Amino acid sequence: MSAKKFTAAAATALAAATSLAVPAHANVAPKTFPGVNGPLTVTTGQDNLLHFGSSTPGGGGTEQMPSSRIADAEWAPDGSRVAYVDQNGSVISARFDGSDPIVVAANAGASHPTWINGGSLIVYAHGGSLYSVPSLGGAVQVLSAGHQPGDQDSAPQGGANGSMVFQRKTNGATWVWTYNGYTNAAARVANTNAGTQPSISPNGRTIAYIHEDLNGLPQVFTVGVDGSNPTQLTTDAKPLQKNDTPVWSSDGSLIAFAAAGAVVTIKPVRGPVENTVAFVTGRISWQPNADMSRPPSTSNPVNLVERLDGPDRIGTADEVSGWSYGNQQANVVVLARQDIFADALAGSALAARFHGPLLLTPTGNLDPRTLAEIQRVLKPGGFVYVLGQTAAISAHTFNQVAAAGFRPSRIGGNDRFDTAVDIAKTIVPDYTHNPVTILAATGLNFPDALAAGAVAGSRPNTVVVLTSDTKMPPQTQAFINAVPQRAVFGVGGGAVTALSSVRMAATRVSGLDRFETATFVAQTFFSGPQVVGIATGFNFPDALAGGALAGRVGGPLLLTGPTGLPSETADYLNHASGSVSDAIMFGGPAVIDDGLQNQVGDLIGQPNQWVYARNNPGAHTGPR
């Protein structure tokens, strides 16, 4: 099964609840719409074309979309994808050039799809209610936004920092409402009675909408999101003008709206000059472009490709720690052996959940660089979780941590399976009476467990346990059986077989190889990430440290070869480009070739609208 087929057919089946598709505590970057004004597009609902704006009839050109008819198209925050409604009422997301279509919500009877939360979610209207769905597809949920029985909600329009506006009709009266996708707060906007078709400005402060003037003619108005300063902009006196559907430009300098069979633009001031920019009408949307003369920011949708690497695996782990944590900002440190992955496989989940980096050291002696990083990120007396028994991290190394003024605590059993169970019990000590999501992966190799670790690190009450490839270790089985409220996932073919061998009910998340399995994990649990991690699929240390970072920021860990992205990894990045604003490669050019940054950058956004940063944590503008 290819990654494309998985995206279209299995997202809803495996992401049976939104909690699987969107990490409960994800640190989402406040990626917003502002930028340089790209093309203005109009979809008429009568053909399958994006009609581009032009000051002359027929002069703007078109872009064909991969459906027989499209309506209500709107651009993603970075302009890399466009969401629209097809002839079946399904919500479709496609790349800017019409390629790579994915079904986000099938046969939904949808209208007005719009992107919120930095592109992580798509909201649409149907039958008087609003619905949200992860932008890669998945479980559809009713968006209450204060909805009461009898309310009729419609015309949602997304904006910056999780904001959205829509119109709500209650007891015959229509008002403009605001909603925030991060806080779930909704509020009616004062002074907007009888207002329709709202659109929020890129800075999130002002709403444009349609309201009738004293002569009963529809005009464009603006109002503050708090209801302040309602202002009538247009004064058109033509009864046939029928002003409608105002939309802000990407930089906030203009408002476009439909008028008398055309689209015109105005500046957001009273009595503006109207300029005709299109000679068709329908849903209007402005494609945001990045300003490549300025760095990425919350007001400039430049995508970012990063590389975190050091002279060796210990140095890379230190760089990853430096990206995530400032001085004395970590709660804990997780310390693992640098040369063998056995006891460390579940460690990235522990590090992410307890808010600390995963660092590496030789068995017999604490590496001076690792000690320096512990001293930098952790306050004196802080906890250092040491993974494995003395064969993994020696008593001498343990004592060196203690002598430096920290409190080491060893987590390790007789073997890797015991250690993973001990880590799981540390993460969820009340596992016997609370719901737990359990991801089982083979412990005889590293890729599947490390992809699962990013998932476990991204959400509460989620752990990784290990199988002996296709066999079920008794300690792993005993732990799973001790969790009465469990959701079990088999990550990779070996774990699926092991679970089946003991008749353990589990959802399969497995591909033909490690790359496809990591992609399936990403699709199942991360259906609208802002940040993705990318590590080599042929060695464990970079993925181990990187998985802790990915889990902390609510993103997947994808795998790659040294000189080119596997097709499954590339497909996922392409599908997710509407939400992903930062792709972080772990390890140096010896494991991930410099040429991959170009491929990754063009996949997560529009071509050439990205920048590259190496070991520069300040380049990332979102939470971490």
Distance CA 77, CA 250 (A): 9
pLDDT at 391: 95
For residue 439, give both structure tokens.
Answer: 């991801």
Q: Reduce the secondary structure of 393-439 to three states and give it as a string.
A: CCHHHHHHHHHCCCEEEEECCCCHHHHHHHHHHHHCCCCCCCCEEEE
Distance CA 91, CA 610 (A): 27
Distance CA 218, CA 221 (A): 9
Distance CA 510, CA 421 (A): 22
Distance CA 43, CA 280 (A): 8
pLDDT at 300: 78
Distance CA 488, CA 506 (A): 5
pLDDT at 59: 64
Q: Which residue has the tokens 């060695």?
A: 539
Give the DSSP per-residue string, 544-608. Answer: HHHHHHHHHTT--EEEE-SSS--HHHHHHHHHGGGT--EEEEES-TTTS-TTHHHHHHHHSSSTT
The full set of domains in the chain, from first to last, is: 32-289 (2.120.10.30), 303-619 (no CATH)
Q: What is the CA radius of gyration of the chain?
A: 26
Distance CA 439, CA 425 (A): 14
How does strand 407-411 pair with strand 383-387?
A: parallel
pLDDT at 298: 65
What is the pTM for the complete model shown?
0.93
For residue 461, give both structure tokens.
Answer: 């009450």
Distance CA 237, CA 221 (A): 15
Burial of 612 (0-12, 13-18, 19+ CB in 10 A): middle
Residue type, 221: F
Q: What is the mean pLDDT of each run of 10 residues along the chain (624 residues)?
A: 39 40 42 70 95 73 96 95 98 97 96 96 97 96 94 96 96 97 96 97 95 92 98 82 87 91 91 85 92 76 94 97 93 97 95 96 98 97 97 97 98 96 97 96 97 97 98 98 97 98 98 97 95 96 96 96 96 96 96 95 94 93 76
Tens of pLDDT, residue by residue over 547-570, are 999 999 999 999 999 999 999 999
574: number of CA atoms within 13 Å, CB side?
A: 20
Q: Are 28 and 295 in contact (CB under 8 A)?
A: no
pLDDT at 15: 42
pLDDT at 542: 96
Distance CA 188, CA 179 (A): 9
Burial of 344 (0-12, 13-18, 19+ CB in 10 A): buried
Burial of 68 (0-12, 13-18, 19+ CB in 10 A): exposed
Distance CA 276, CA 390 (A): 75
Distance CA 549, CA 323 (A): 8
In the chain, count of helices (H) and strands (E)?
Answer: 14, 37
Q: Are 418 and 466 in contact (CB under 8 A)?
A: no
Distance CA 200, CA 458 (A): 31
Q: Which residue has the tokens 């902009």?
A: 233
Residue type, 254: L
Q: Are 134 and 22 in contact (CB under 8 A)?
A: yes
Burial of 142 (0-12, 13-18, 19+ CB in 10 A): exposed
Q: Are 448 and 457 in contact (CB under 8 A)?
A: no
